[in-house]
């Protein structure tokens, strides 16, 4: 069953709910962020919006440029990729917006993640690169052996990246060292998540376009 329009704080009972967005918005990325709200990107309308606990939807900024993935940064702001604009956006909860261009032209930024070293990492799927932005500094870039799609922080430092088309995941340390892990050929890895269980063990979960999940113990 689907119940529409319930406050988010009432939506923890396993019942599917939906919250209606403006027609044609094309929601894509979503993250829990400042103000006890969910923040989302709308690729078609070029909007960054928020959903409050009472279910109210607000369009906070209109950067355009096909906003894709979004993350909550260590500086209290929302950071997101602008795929068609070849840029990274930073949005303060107040609505103040900053956009910075990715150094490599036509790089196609998609995935983005905040890490434990107070930096923002993002993928450049068309340039076979990953970028890193210390929050108040210029972007750095690193070549990768494949097309990076998603990126997620590693609790022990650095990040994990899915290499779409190569059927691999890569681990990049904070010092820029790259190592890869082969997955099943043709699996086409996309989304990533890191899980730490009650015993302190850590696993990387990989969503595969081939139709299954891959679990990789990493610590």
SS (H, E, C) 97-117: EEEEECCCCCCCEEEEEECCC
C-alpha to C-alpha distance for 73 and 186, rounded to whole angstroms: 33
pLDDT the model gives residue 10: 60
Q: Would the pTM of this model clear 0.85, i.e. be above it?
A: yes
- pLDDT tens digits, 23-36: 899 999 999 999 89
For all residues of the chain together, what is the average pLDDT? 90
Interacting residues of 203 by C-beta distance below 8 A, sequence separation 6+: 194, 195, 197, 215, 216, 217, 218
Residue 172 burial (CB count, 10 A)? 22
Q: 75 is written with which tokens?
A: 């500086």
DSSP letter, residue 138:
-
Catalytic residue among 62, 116, 149, 190: 190
pLDDT the model gives residue 108: 97
Element counts in the chain: helices (H) and strands (E): 0, 21
- pLDDT tens digits, 154-192: 988 899 999 998 999 999 998 889 999 999 888 899 999
pLDDT the model gives residue 196: 82
Does residue 190 have an active-site annotation?
A: yes
DSSP letter, residue 155:
T
Q: Which residues of 8-23 are buried (b: 16+ CB within 10 A; e: fewer)?
A: beeeeeeeebebebee
The sign one gets for the Cα dihedral 37, 38, 41, 45 is negative
What's the distance, Cα to Cα, between the start and end of the chain in Å? 39
């Amino acid at each position: 069953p689907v119940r529409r329009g319930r406050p988010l704080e009432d939506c923890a009972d396993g019942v599917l709910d939906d919250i209606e967005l403006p027609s044609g918005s094309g929601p894509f990325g979503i993250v829990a962020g400042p103000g006890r709200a969910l923040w989302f990107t709308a690729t078609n309308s070029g909007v960054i919006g928020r959903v409050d606990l009472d279910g109210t939807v607000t369009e906070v900024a209109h950067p355009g440029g096909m906003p894709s993935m979004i993350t909550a940064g260590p500086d209290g702001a929302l950071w997101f990729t602008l795929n068609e604009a070849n840029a990274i956006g930073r949005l303060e909860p107040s609505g103040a917006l900053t956009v910075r261009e990715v150094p490599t032209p036509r790089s196609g930024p998609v995935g983005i993640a905040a890490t434990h070293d107070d930096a923002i990492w993002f993928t450049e799927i068309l340039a076979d690169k990953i970028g890193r932005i210390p929050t108040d500094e210029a972007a750095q870039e690193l070549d990768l052996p494949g097309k990076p799609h998603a990126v997620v922080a590693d609790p022990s430092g650095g990040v994990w990246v899915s290499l779409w088309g190569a059927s691999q995941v890569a681990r990049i340390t904070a010092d820029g060292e790259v190592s890869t892990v082969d997955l099943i050929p043709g699996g086409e890895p996309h989304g990533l998540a890191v899980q730490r269980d009650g015993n302190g063990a850590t696993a990387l979960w990989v969503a595969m376009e081939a139709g299954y999940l891959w679990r990789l113990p990493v610590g």
